[in-house]
Chains A and B, each alone.
Chain A
Amino acid sequence: MIRPARPPTPERSPGGHPARPRVLVADDDVDIRDLVQFKLQQAGYDVVCVGDGLEAWDVFVSDPPAAMVLDVMMPGLSGIDVLLKIREHSTVHMPVLMLSARARDVDVDAGFAVGADDYVVKPFSPRELVHRVNGILGRPRR
Chain B
Amino acid sequence: MTIGGFVAVAGPGLAAASLLMACAIVALKLHRTLRTRAWEHRVAPLREAVLLVATGEDTEDGDTLSELAGVRGRTRRDLDELVVRLLGKVRGEAADQLVELLRSHGVLDRATRDARSWSPVRRERALHLIGRCRDWRGTDVAITALEDRSPRVRAQAARTVGRIGDPRAARPLLHALRLEGIHVGDAAEALVGLGHASGEALLWALAEGSPRARTVAAHLCGVGGVRMAAPLLVDLVERDPDLTAASAAVSALGKVGRAQDHGAIAAATVRFHPQQLRRAATEALGEHGLALAVPVLVRLLADPTSQVAEAAARSLLALGPAGRAALVEHAHLPAAGAELTHARLTGVAV
Min Cβ gap B56→A in Å is: 6
Q: A123-B90, A123-B91 are in contact. Are A31 and B56 (CB under 8 A)?
A: no
Contact status A128-B92, CB under 8 Å? yes
Min Cβ gap A64→B in Å is: 26
Contact status B91-A31, CB under 8 Å? no
Contact status B54-A35, CB under 8 Å? yes
Chain B contacts of A39 at CB under 8 A? Answer: 55, 57
Chain A contacts of B57 at CB under 8 A? Answer: 38-39, 42
Contact status B89-A125, CB under 8 Å? no
B232 at the A interface (CB under 8 A) = no
CB nearest neighbor in A for B132: A123
Q: A35-B54, A35-B55 are in contact. Are A127 and B93 (CB under 8 A)?
A: yes
Q: Which residues between 23 and 49 of chain A lie within 8 Å of chain B, taking CB atoms?
A: 29, 31-32, 34-35, 38-39, 42
Q: Which residues between 32 and 63 of chain B lie within 8 Å of chain A, taking CB atoms?
A: 47-48, 51-52, 54-57
A6 at the B interface (CB under 8 A) = no
Contact status A123-B93, CB under 8 Å? no
CA distance A123 to B54 in the complex (A): 12
Min Cβ gap B249→A in Å is: 25
Q: A123-B90, A125-B93, A127-B92 are in contact. Are A31 and B85 (CB under 8 A)?
A: yes
Contact status B86-A126, CB under 8 Å? no
CA distance A127 to B56 in the complex (A): 7
What is the size, in residues, of chain B's interface with A at 8 Å between Cβ atoms?
18
CA distance A112 to B231 in the complex (A): 42
Min Cβ gap A9→B in Å is: 28
Contact status B89-A38, CB under 8 Å? no
Q: A42-B55, A126-B54, A126-B56 are in contact. Are A35 and B91 (CB under 8 A)?
A: no
B88 at the A interface (CB under 8 A) = yes
Interface residues on A, range: 10 to 19
Contact status A34-B51, CB under 8 Å? yes
Q: Which residues between 42 and 83 of chain A lie within 8 Å of chain B, taking CB atoms?
A: 42
Min Cβ gap A30→B in Å is: 9
A122 at the B interface (CB under 8 A) = yes
Instruction: Give the one of A29, A35, A122 with max B CB within 10 A.
Output: A35
Number of A-B residue pairs at CB separation under 8 A: 48
Contact status A38-B51, CB under 8 Å? yes
Q: Which residues between 79 and 127 of chain B lie within 8 Å of chain A, taking CB atoms?
A: 85-86, 88-95
Contact status A38-B55, CB under 8 Å? yes
Contact status B56-A123, CB under 8 Å? no
Min Cβ gap A43→B in Å is: 10
Min Cβ gap B54→A in Å is: 6
Chain B contacts of A32 at CB under 8 A? Answer: 89
CB nearest neighbor in A for B57: A42
Chain B contacts of A29 at CB under 8 A? Answer: 89
CA distance A128 to B90 in the complex (A): 11
CB nearest neighbor in A for B91: A123
Contact status A31-B86, CB under 8 Å? yes
CA distance A32 to B93 in the complex (A): 16
Chain A contacts of B95 at CB under 8 A? Answer: 123
Min Cβ gap B82→A in Å is: 8
CB nearest neighbor in A for B86: A31
Q: Which residues between 147 and 200 of chain B lie within 8 Å of chain A, taking CB atoms?
A: none
CB nearest neighbor in A for B94: A126
Chain B contacts of A31 at CB under 8 A? Answer: 85-86, 89
**When the two chains form the complex, which single residue of A42, A122, A127, A128 contacts B89, counting CB atoms closer than 8 Å?**
A122
CA distance A126 to B55 in the complex (A): 6
Min Cβ gap B33→A in Å is: 15
CA distance A34 to B50 in the complex (A): 11
Min Cβ gap A116→B in Å is: 20
CA distance A141 to B57 in the complex (A): 16
Q: A31-B85, A31-B86, A42-B57 are in contact. Are A125 and B51 (CB under 8 A)?
A: no
Q: What are 18 pairs between A and B in contact, CB < 8 Å?
A: A29-B89, A32-B89, A35-B51, A35-B90, A38-B52, A38-B57, A39-B55, A39-B57, A42-B55, A42-B57, A123-B88, A123-B95, A124-B90, A125-B90, A125-B93, A126-B56, A127-B92, A127-B94
Top 3 A-B pairs, shortest CB-CB distance: A125-B92, A126-B55, A39-B55
18 more A-B contacts (CB under 8 A) besides A42-B55, A123-B89?
A: A31-B85, A32-B89, A35-B51, A35-B89, A38-B48, A38-B51, A38-B52, A38-B55, A123-B88, A123-B90, A123-B91, A124-B89, A124-B90, A125-B93, A126-B54, A127-B55, A127-B94, A128-B92
